[in-house]
């Protein structure tokens, strides 16, 4: 069991003293999907009935016999039902008034743009589904996707879902080794990539990285390569027989492809995320429950309506992009804005120019981005017309009240609500969130569980905390919940369902509840870091470090960081005869980037003669965290050699200057 004692930040007391309240503006409530707080009680009285009603809004081949089969900790939702996700995201819109409505408005970083209507999307997806079939991809096969944020990414996911294949999207910022490990774990048959993508004016050479990855990924039979810019290919190596250009394959592919009738519990996708060991977990999501959960939350949390222009800035390589760029909004027939690149390219007003250009009405981003905007100053948003906006959202990490207020005032013009949404790769859907037409907002609080969701703050012993802090638990199954960890059923049980009992889900987060029953999220209490809204396992970084020939031992901890939420601090001991110097520190940082990807680059490396350990040899991360945070050290009496930590602290303070 990892060291997972809750670390409750001290800011909380201060936060709870804040008495600023933001009731929903009347103009918003008047037209909102939900304007009556009675939904909470009605859903709580009959959660299965609540989800059953939502499921009726979707199009099924065969209705379900039972809403839920719950054999803790294994759930099946909409048992016996048959459905295809793409019929709900595309076909039913094409049949009606949304046929020529914009489904995806995409802008590339260099400034190119494309719009796909629902009918365009139908043709692209069904043609590409036929391409996949022609390459022998069958129902149940895994399809790995390693693409920049371009429309083909959504097309590839939907085409897989069309034919019952399981997609595994790997974020384009991951290294060749990370990609290789994910392909091998899922035994993917096909890889879809691109010649490259753009980030801050640079080309990200995806195909080159993919080539390196598949050298050791024997399950891959075919590689499909999207040309990022038609007619302007980025030079790549094409291996005859194995590699195929996307546009060539599409030339001959007929559109129209009979959707597979999927069982409610058939796998829809795998998405890898960091956990408390060195090996990422392949989170498994299935078909019907996931679709119901994200359909409902997208509609109510974002109060989504037909005339909205909805923009979630997340990369599709993360769960936020899966649920709230692709599946949720498309299931609702929305117009989705997608942007490929960086917020500060070519200038720091890029996001606001996009809002202005397309008349974005709903804008959903991460607190890290908001803190960057704060630092860049209000002149950038002021230059653009932002009055089309009617709702703002945040996700990915706790938002500090200062950032919340800044966002509210400078982007929202002090007139529109903010939904702070808490959820995880594992939950698939938003779990704790305001409903913008009914919830009075408190800056820094994600407020209350979505109707039909049951969350609680529990003590380590499992007692419910009515007011105060503890560990966040989900106490009832929910439709979009993960169904497992790919290929590792034991880890699923151990990781999520053994903290208290097998019907109480452990989130890994600390939280507090206040007198109004509002939840305040406090960050991870396990060995998972949240750096700029990205999940990174300390053990993953540690294994990357000890993989370096000159490293003997490594311990990685998070420390608070003004902009990124958390920064990565690595304590390293080197092997005999090795000179620990700044050049080696740089080399080690690069080594981590090479092994995992740039998102995991340590912010600082501290060389230590020894690491503090208990008498049984366990590294005391708690003490290292205290050192990295510059705090007074807690209890050191369980240490094998208390002098080690005193020396380390002294050294750290010296180097930190
Ligand atoms: C954190 C991202 C506070 C949390 C959707 C969680 C948040 C982890 C919030 C999941 C929020 C996400 N307030 N913390 N609104 N949203 N988190 O799997 O620690 O990438 O456990 O899913 O992000 O990260 P993941």
CB 107 within 8 A of CB 338: yes
**What is the rounded average pLDDT of the residues 630-634?**
77
Task: Please report the pLDDT score of residue 621 as a whole number.
Answer: 87
Contact 429, 297 (CB under 8 A): yes
Nearest to 519 by CA among 596, 464, 442, 578: 442
pLDDT at 276: 87
Q: How far is the CA of 530 from the centre of ligand 1 (A)?
A: 8
pLDDT, position 640: 73
Closest CA to 47 of 474, 462, 423: 474
3-state secondary structure of 48: helix
Pocket test for ligand 1, best of 316, 404, 422, 566 (most atoms within 8 A of CB): 422
Does the Cβ of 249 fall within 6 Å of ligand 1?
no
Q: How far is it, in rounded angstroms, from Cα 605 to Cα 556?
A: 9
373-393 pLDDT, tens digit per residue, is: 999 999 999 999 999 999 999
pLDDT by residue (tens digit) across 284-319? 999 999 999 999 999 999 999 999 999 999 999 999
* Cβ neighbours, 10 Å, residue 410: 18
Residue 397 Cβ contacting ligand 1 at under 6 Å = yes
Q: Cα(361) to centroid of ligand 1, in Å?
A: 24
Atom of ligand 1 nearest to the CA of 522: 3
Q: Which atom of ligand 1 is nearest to the CA of 420?
A: 15
Q: What are 414's two structure tokens?
A: 């002090």
Q: How far apart are CA 573 and CA 263, in angstroms?
A: 52
CA of 430 to the centre of ligand 1 (A): 10
Using left for φ > 0, alpha for ψ between -120 and 50, and beta otherwise, residue 534 falls in beta
Nearest alpha carbon, ligand 1 atom 23? 396
Ligand 1 atom with least separation from CA of 318: 20
How far apart are the CA of 509 and the centre of ligand 1, in A?
9
Taking the centre of ligand 1 as the mean of its atom positions, its distance from the CA of residue 400, in whole angstroms, is 14
Q: Are 287 and 162 in contact (CB under 8 A)?
A: no
Q: For ligand 1, is residue 315 a contact (CB within 6 Å)? A: no
Omega within 30 of 0 (cis) for the link into 73: yes
Alpha carbons 23 and 202: distance in angstroms, whole number: 44
Judge if the beta carbon of residue 319 lies within 6 A of ligand 1. Answer: yes
Tell which residue, 555, 554, 556, 543, has the closest CA to residue 596. 543
Whether ligand 1 lies within 6 angstroms of the CB of 332 is answered as: no
Query: pLDDT category, 17, cuts 50, 70, 90?
Result: low
Residue 391 Cα, ligand 1 centroid: separation in angstroms?
20
Query: Ligand 1 mean position to 484 CA, how many Å?
Result: 19
Query: For position 233, what pLDDT does the model report?
Result: 83
Give residue 362's pLDDT band: very low, low, confident or very high (50, 70, 90).
Answer: very high
CB 311 within 8 A of CB 362: yes
- Nearest residue by C-alpha to atom 14 in ligand 1: 397
Distance 535 CA to ligand 1 centre (A): 8
Q: How far does residue 234's CA lie from ligand 1's centre (Å)?
A: 36
Instruction: Answer yes or no: is the C-beta of 117 below 6 A from any ligand 1 atom.
Output: no
Tokens of 6: 């809750």
> Is the separation of the CB atoms in 344 and 378 below 8 Å?
no
- Confidence class for position 652, pLDDT limits 50, 70, 90: confident
Closest C-alpha to 169, from 305, 364, 315, 329: 315
149 CB within 6 A, ligand 1: no
Residue 400 Cβ contacting ligand 1 at under 6 Å:
no
Q: Is 337 helix (H, G, I), strand (E, B) or coil?
A: strand
* Cα 223 versus chain centre, distance: 26
Q: What's the pLDDT at 278? A: 87
On average, the pLDDT of the chain sits at 94
Report pLDDT for 291. 99
Atom of ligand 1 nearest to the CA of 508: 21
Using alpha carbons, select from 335, 341, 422, 350 the residue that is nearest to residue 381: 350
Checking if the pLDDT of 10 tops 70, the result is no
Ligand 1 atom with the smallest distance to the CA of 398 is: 3
Task: State yes or no: pLDDT of 7 exceeds 60.
Answer: no
Q: Supply the DSSP symbol for 599.
A: G
Element (H, E) at 106: strand 102-107
276 vs 433, higher pLDDT:
433
* Residue 197 Cβ < 6 Å to ligand 1: no
CA 447 to ligand 1 centroid distance, Å: 14
The arithmetic mean of pLDDT across residues 347-354, rounded, is 98
Contact 320, 179 (CB under 8 A): no
For the chain, what are the domain ranges? 10-81+272-524, 85-260, 528-655
Residue found by looking up tokens 């100053």 in the block: 377
Per-residue pLDDT, averaged over 215-240, amounts to 95
- The yes-or-no verdict on residue 560 having pLDDT over 70 is yes
Ligand 1 neighbour 152 (Cβ under 6 A): no
Ligand 1 center from residue 32 Cα (angstroms): 26
pLDDT band at 656 (very low <50, low <70, confident <90, very high): low
pLDDT-derived band at 496, boundaries 50, 70, 90: very high
Residue nearest to atom 15 of ligand 1 (CA): 422
Token pair, residue 182, equals: 């994910």
Atom of ligand 1 at shortest range from CA of 394: 15
Q: Helix 47-55 to helix 38-45 angle, to the nearest 10 degrees?
A: 100
Q: Would you call 346 helix, strand, or coil by DSSP?
A: coil
C-alpha 136 to ligand 1 mean position (Å): 37
Q: Are 383 and 376 in contact (CB under 8 A)?
A: no
Question: pLDDT class for 9, splitting at 50, 70, 90?
Answer: very low
Residue 13 has pLDDT above 50, yes or no: no
Query: Is any atom of ligand 1 closer than 6 Å to the C-beta of 508?
Result: yes
Cα(197) to centroid of ligand 1, in Å?
A: 27
Note the pLDDT tens digit of each residue in 471-480: 999 999 999 9
Domain 10-81+272-524 fold: Rossmann fold (3.40.50)
Centre of ligand 1 from the C-alpha of residue 8, in Å: 16
pLDDT of 146-178, one tens digit each? Answer: 999 999 999 999 999 999 999 999 999 999 999
Does the beta carbon of 446 sit less than 6 angstroms from any atom of ligand 1? Answer: yes
pTM score, two decimals? 0.95
Give the distance (Å) from ligand 1 centre to CA of residue 322: 15
Q: Which residue has the tokens 């959660």?
A: 47
What is the pLDDT, as a whole number, of residue 3?
33
pLDDT at position 372 over 70: yes
- To test ligand 1's pocket by mutation, which of 431, 530, 534, 566 has the most ligand atoms within 8 angstroms of CB? 530
Cα(530)–Cα(244) distance, integer angstroms: 37
Q: Which of 477, 462, 473, 487 is nearest to 428 (CA)?
A: 477
Whether the pLDDT of residue 69 is over 90: the answer is: yes
Q: 434: Cβ below 6 Å to ligand 1?
A: no
Q: How far apart are CA 466 and CA 475, in angstroms?
A: 15
103-151 pLDDT, tens digit each: 999 999 999 999 999 999 999 999 999 999 999 999 999 999 999 999 9
- In this prediction, residue 8 has a pLDDT band, given cuts at 50, 70 and 90, of very low
Distance of CA 58 to the CA centre of its chain: 25
pLDDT at 648 over 50: yes
Pairing relationship of beta strands 309-312 and 335-339 according to DSSP bridges:
parallel
Decide if pLDDT at 18 tops 70: no
The reply to whether ligand 1 has any atom less than 6 angstroms from the CB of 365 is no
Hey, do 10-81+272-524 and 528-655 end up sharing a CATH topology, with the first three levels equal? no
The answer to whether the CB of 284 is under 6 A from ligand 1 is no
**pLDDT confidence bin for 657, thresholds 50/70/90:** low
Residue 509 CB less than 6 A away from ligand 1: yes
Report the share of the chain in percent with pLDDT over 90: 88
**Rounded Cα distance, 400 and 409, in Å:** 14
pLDDT by residue (tens digit) across 397-424?
999 988 999 999 999 999 999 999 999 9
For domain 528-655, the CATH architecture is 2-Layer Sandwich (3.30)
pLDDT value for 4:
31
Whether residue 11 has pLDDT greater than 70 = no
Q: Which CATH architecture has domain 85-260?
A: 3-Layer(aba) Sandwich (3.40)
Centroid of ligand 1 to alpha carbon of 148 (angstroms): 23
Cα gap 81→406, rounded to integer Å: 46
Instruction: Report pLDDT digits (tens) over 229-257.
Output: 988 889 999 999 999 999 999 999 999 99
121 lines ligand 1 (CB under 6 A): no
């Amino acid at each position: 069991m990892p060291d997972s004692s809750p670390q409750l930040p001290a800011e909380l007391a201060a936060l709870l003293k804040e008495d600023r309240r933001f009731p929903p503006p009347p103009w918003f409530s008047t037209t909102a999907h939900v304007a009556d707080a009675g939904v909470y009680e009605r859903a709580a009285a009959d959660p299965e009935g609540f989800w059953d009603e939502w499921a009726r809004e979707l199009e099924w081949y065969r209705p379900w016999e039972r809403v839920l089969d719950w054999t803790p900790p294994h759930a099946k939702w909409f048992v016996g039902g048959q459905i295809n996700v793409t019929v709900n995201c595309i076909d039913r819109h094409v049949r009606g008034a949304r046929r020529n409505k914009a489904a995806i408005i995409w802008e590339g970083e260099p400034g190119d743009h494309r719009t796909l209507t629902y009918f365009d999307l139908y043709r692209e997806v069904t043609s590409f589904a036929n391409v996949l079939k022609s390459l022998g991809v069958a129902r149940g096969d895994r399809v790995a996707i390693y693409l920049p944020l371009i429309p083909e990414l959504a097309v590839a996911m939907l085409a897989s879902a069309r034919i019952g294949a399981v997609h595994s999207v790997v974020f384009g910022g991951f290294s060749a080794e990370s990609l290789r490990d994910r392909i091998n774990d899922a035994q993917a048959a096909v890889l879809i990539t691109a010649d490259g993508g753009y980030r801050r004016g640079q080309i990200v050479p995806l195909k080159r990285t993919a080539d390196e990855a598949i050298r050791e990924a024997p399950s891959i039979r075919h590689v499909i390569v999207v040309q990022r810019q038609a007619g302007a290919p980025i030079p790549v190596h094409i291996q005859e027989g194995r590699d195929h250009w996307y546009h060539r394959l599409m030339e001959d592919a007929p559109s129209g492809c009979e959707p597979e009738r999927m069982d409610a519990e058939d796998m829809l996708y795998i998405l890898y995320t960091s956990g408390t060991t060195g090996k990422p977990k392949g989170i498994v999501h299935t078909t019907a429950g996931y679709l119901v959960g994200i359909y409902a939350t997208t509609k109510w949390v974002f109060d989504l309506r037909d005339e909205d222009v909805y923009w979630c800035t997340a990369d599709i390589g993360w769960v936020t992009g899966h649920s709230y760029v692709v599946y949720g909004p498309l299931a609702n027939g929305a117009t989705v804005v997608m942007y490929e690149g960086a917020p500060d390219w070519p200038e720091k007003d890029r996001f606001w120019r996009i809002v202005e250009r397309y008349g974005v009405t709903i804008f959903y981003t991460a607190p890290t981005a908001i803190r960057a905007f704060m630092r860049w100053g209000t002149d950038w948003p002021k230059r653009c017309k932002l009055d089309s906006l009617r709702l703002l959202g945040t996700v990915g990490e706790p938002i500090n009240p200062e950032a919340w207020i800044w966002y509210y005032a400078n982007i929202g013009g002090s007139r529109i609500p903010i939904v702070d949404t808490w959820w995880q790769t594992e939950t698939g859907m938003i779990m704790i969130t305001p409903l913008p037409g009914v919830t009075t907002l408190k800056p820094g609080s994600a407020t209350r569980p979505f109707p039909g969701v049951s969350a609680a703050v529990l003590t380590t012993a499992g007692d419910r905390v009515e007011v105060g802090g503890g560990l966040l638990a989900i106490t009832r199954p929910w439709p979009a919940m993960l169904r497992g960890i790919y290929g590792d059923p034991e880890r699923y049980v151990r990781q999520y369902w053994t903290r208290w009992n097998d019907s109480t889900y452990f989130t890994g987060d600390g939280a507090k509840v206040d007198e109004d029953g509002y939840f305040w999220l406090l960050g991870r209490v396990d060995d998972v870091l949240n750096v700029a809204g990205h999940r990174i396992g300390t053990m993953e970084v540690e294994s990357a470090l000890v993989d370096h020939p000159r490293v003997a031992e490594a311990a990685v901890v998070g420390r608070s960081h003004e902009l990124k939420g958390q920064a990565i601090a690595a304590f390293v001991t080197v092997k005999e005869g090795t000179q620990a110097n700044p050049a080696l520190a740089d080399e080690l940082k690069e080594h981590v980037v090479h092994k995992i990807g740039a998102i995991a680059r340590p912010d600082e490396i501290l060389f230590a003669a020894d690491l503090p350990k208990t008498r049984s040899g366990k590294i005391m991360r708690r003490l290292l965290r205290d050192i990295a945070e510059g705090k007074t050290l807690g209890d050191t009496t369980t240490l094998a050699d208390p002098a080690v930590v005193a020396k380390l602290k002294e050294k750290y303070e010296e180097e930190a200057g």
